[in-house]
Amino acid sequence: QSALTQPRSVSGSPGQSVTISCTGTSSDVGAYNYVSWYQQHPGKAPKLMIHAVSKRPSGVPDRFSGSKSGNTASLTISGLQAEDEADYYCCSYAGSYTWVFGGGTKLTVL
Amino acid sequence: QVQLVQSGAEVKKPGASVKVSCKASGYTFTDYYMHWVRQAPGQGLEWMGWINPNSGGTSFAQTFQGRVTMTRDTSISTAYMELSRLTSDDRAVYYCARIKSYYFDYWGQGTLVTVSS
């Protein structure tokens, strides 16, 4: 099972919006609405930001949103803030009680 | 509040095994499956597998089949992940993560495993 494909890096200025893509296959991202996104700051554990493609856990700012089209899921961060600078990982259920992560995207806030 | 507290860093020789623990608190341990995820230095997250704390049933990523064992001790709300036949490629931070529905809602702090002769 191959890792989901994410851009290695994205960047944006404070206040702008950025979108991170996550491309899988018809066996994972395309097959299930079970895509989640995690934010990871250096030296810290990942933190859940989005689940079930577009649901935000309580406490996550509404600047974070998720969507999916076909085999590609996306995380959009609007109104970029300095503290959003981190690595972001997508994850999808891949059937047969297995999960697969994306390779990660480094977000730089310019 | 939910907490997952993992054991400390380990240094192992090539060919050895390592066993990492993950102590859960703040919820009923047997109500949620526990997963393990690892992250090599400067690399992405890699899903390893899960254990059902209620039944002890497990499932592993193909990459780790035959080399990983996941167990639990319900009396102390602790899950364990043991990886054998270690090589330098196994140097990573290993995380336990509770799964709710199909997403990981709580993570341990991570355990660094170093493999060095």
pLDDT in tens, chain B (117 residues): 999 999 999 999 999 999 999 999 999 999 999 999 999 999 999 999 999 999 999 999 999 999 999 999 999 999 999 999 999 999 999 999 999 989 999 999 999 999 999
A26 touches chain B (CB under 8 A): no
Average pLDDT of adjacent 10-residue blocks, chain A of 110 residues: 93 97 97 97 97 97 97 98 98 96 97
Those residues with Cβ within 8 angstroms of residue B55's Cβ, 6 or more apart along the chain or in another chain: none
| Residue from A65, A90, A87, A60 nearest A78 by CA | A65
DSSP chain A: -PPBB--SEEEE-TT--EEEEEE--TTTTTT-S-EEEEEE-TTS--EEEEBTTTBPPTTS-TTEEEEEETTEEEEEE-S--GGG-EEEEEEEE-STT-EEEB--EEEEE-
- Across the interface, do B50 and A57 touch by the CB < 8 Å criterion? no
State the best of A8, A68, A93, A99 to mutate against chain B, taking most chain B CBs within 10 Å. Answer: A99
- Across the interface, do A91 and B45 touch by the CB < 8 Å criterion? yes
Contacts of B97 in chain A (CB under 8 A): 46
Instruction: Look up residue A41 and give its two tokens.
Output: 């700051």
Q: Are the beta carbons of A53 and A35 closer than 8 angstroms?
A: yes
- In order of A62, A73, B110, the CA distances from A44 in angstroms are 22, 24, 8
Q: Which residue of A has its CA nearest to B95?
A: A45
DSSP B9: -
* pLDDT, tens digit (0-9, with 9 covering 90-100), for B69-97: 999 999 999 999 999 999 999 999 999 99
